[in-house]
Amino acid sequence: MLGNENILIAGPCAVENYEIMLQTAEYLTSKGITAIRANLFKPRTSPHNFQGIGLEGLDVLARIKQSHKIKLVSEIVDVRHISEMMNYVDVFQVGSRNMSNFELLRELGRTANPILLKRGMSATIEEFAYAAEYISCGGNNNICLCERGIRSFDNETRNMLDLSCIPLMKAKTRLPIIVDLSHSLGRKDIIVEMGKAALACGASGLMVEVHPEPQNALSDAAQQMNFDEFDSFLSNIFQNLNL
Ligand code: PEP
Ligand code: MN
């Protein structure tokens, strides 16, 4: 989907402004990372929280695309945005809250863009697989699945990372699957261990949040890694894996 095995998608929770995206893109490309999170829309649980900068941010994406060789992965929340966004975005991400937005899935199935389909927060394996079929029915088979944790009872982690989803979805759909460690865990102190576990279970890659100053981020401050933390994540994650 993104050209190779072991996909690593990194970047801020949301596109906040050009400066932060530039700094992050600069840093990630220097580390050899080939895909950056570039979310203009942030469907949040509360309507009072930061919702993203919206289509106005397309200009930021255009400038990053022009100056850096890095794929832009951006969440799509509305069928009406598809035609405009496809000119700027390399990969359309369907967020957890939209996994069952079947009209959106159908329309994305008619595009040629790769689709990153995230698991709904309470979606069963079967529902997740059918959501992918809504896309492929339209002719677009360039789909990568993403496990991002499911709802559970324990608040130690933000969600419960369901590792069994990885081999189950691979067998059921024959599609690649990656794991979003940041939204699964909601914390960064156990991110290396869980990333290794995800890869050992057959994940084709990982997604993580990286921000130049996580403490000042407009969303998900607690789980975003700063550049030093990402350096250490990167040097530890593929070590002693023997895969
Ligand atoms: C995200 O990746 O930005 C996001 C909001 O994740 P999820 O849809 O999995 O909650
Ligand atoms: Mn986030």
The predicted-structure confidence for 177-204, as pLDDT tens digits, reads as follows 999 999 999 999 999 999 999 999 999 9
Give the global pTM: 0.96
- Asked whether the predicted pLDDT for residue 5 surpasses 80, the reply is no
- Asked whether the predicted pLDDT for residue 2 surpasses 60, the reply is no
* 55-75 confidence digits (pLDDT tens): 999 999 999 999 999 999 999
Where does the pLDDT of residue 6 fall: very low under 50, low under 70, confident under 90, or very high at 90 and above?
Answer: confident
- The tokens describing 53, both together, are 């900068």
Can you give the length of the chain in residues? 243
Average pLDDT of the chain, as a whole number: 96
Mean pLDDT of 144-153: 98
Q: Which ligand sits nearest to residue 43's alpha carbon?
A: 1
Alpha helix segments (H runs only) across the chain: 18-30, 58-67, 82-85, 102-109, 125-136, 165-173, 181-185, 191-200, 227-237
Q: Which of 93, 151, 160, 182 to mutate to test the pocket of ligand 1 (most atoms within 8 A of CB)?
A: 93
